[in-house]
Amino acid sequence: MRGLLLAMMEPPPAIEEEFQDWYDTEHFPERAACDGFLTAHRFVCVDGWPRYLALYDLADTDVLRGPAYARIAGERYSPWTHRIVSRVWGQYRADAAQVHPGTALFGDQGAAARIVLWRFRHAAATVETPILAGLRTLCADRPEIAQARLFRADQPDGTDYIAIVEQRSSSAPGPAVAFGDAARSVDLINVYVPYTRRSVGAFPKGA
């Protein structure tokens, strides 16, 4: 199975600029360049909370327990990382396995204008089938849906399922009733757009 590292958080206003500097110049580049990290993307929430999301596709679920990641995580966190992480709000992290379709990477079916993230918190293993059925119901035969993937994250306090739907338009996420009894576990539905600090070539000199 491919793996996923997901992190969401929001800085307090007083450190917003420093947060972006830290993420863009240290934290994000370290992970994007780490062995076993296959993709790296940041997003801004336009409907929901917290505001910032980072997604990293991993070669497999053991990458985060390997030597390459150990060199940039845990006891190897920089003082800057400790300072920022201790102050952010709404922090949620998931080390997850891709259960559907199994090996897909973000962007495999082209660019996504928006992504919808559904989180099923503290869910029983029996919800996996109805979640997959719900994703098929919400996404089948819809050209504005580029790709839908489902991940399972075994957290210290239970199992979370995370569905990530890549969309080519700003259409609504769809009704939670599509997931049947699994909808009882939905505690977050966020909509994101891709984050960029400055596009290449934006405001060239002399413009």
- Measured distance CA(201)–CA(137) in Å, rounded: 41
pLDDT attached to residue 72: 96
The dihedral region occupied by 53, where left means phi > 0, alpha psi between -120 and 50, and beta the remainder, is: beta
Sketch out the chain's domains with CATH numbers.
3-194 (3.30.70.100)
pLDDT at residue number 202: 63
The reported pTM is 0.94
Return the pLDDT at 125.
Answer: 86
Distances (CA, A) of 119 to 33, 86, 103, 161, 176: 27, 24, 20, 6, 11
Contacts of 152 (CB under 8 A, 6+ apart): 96, 97, 99, 128, 159, 160, 161, 162
Task: Write out pLDDT tens, residues 74-111.
Answer: 999 999 999 999 999 999 999 999 999 999 999 999 99
Q: Compute CA 191 distance to the chain's CA centroid, rounded to the nearest angstrom.
A: 11
Q: For the chain, report the end-to-end CA distance as a whole number of angstroms.
A: 48
- Please give the pLDDT value at position 200: 62
What pLDDT score does 174 carry?
Answer: 87
Contact 57, 4 (CB under 8 A): yes
Residues of the chain with pLDDT under 50: none
Q: Which two tokens stand for residue 71?
A: 């060199």
* Per-residue pLDDT at 59: 98
Which CB contacts under 8 angstroms, 24+ apart, belong to 183-186?
Answer: 183/134, 185/120, 185/121, 185/122, 185/123, 185/127, 185/161, 186/118, 186/119, 186/120, 186/121
Specify the amino acid at residue 4: L
Between the CA of residue 147 and those of 30, 38, 61, 107, what are the distances in Å?
27, 17, 21, 8
Separation of alpha carbons 25 and 129, rounded Å: 40
The partner residues of 6 in beta bridges, in order of sequence, read 55, 94
Per-residue pLDDT, 120: 98
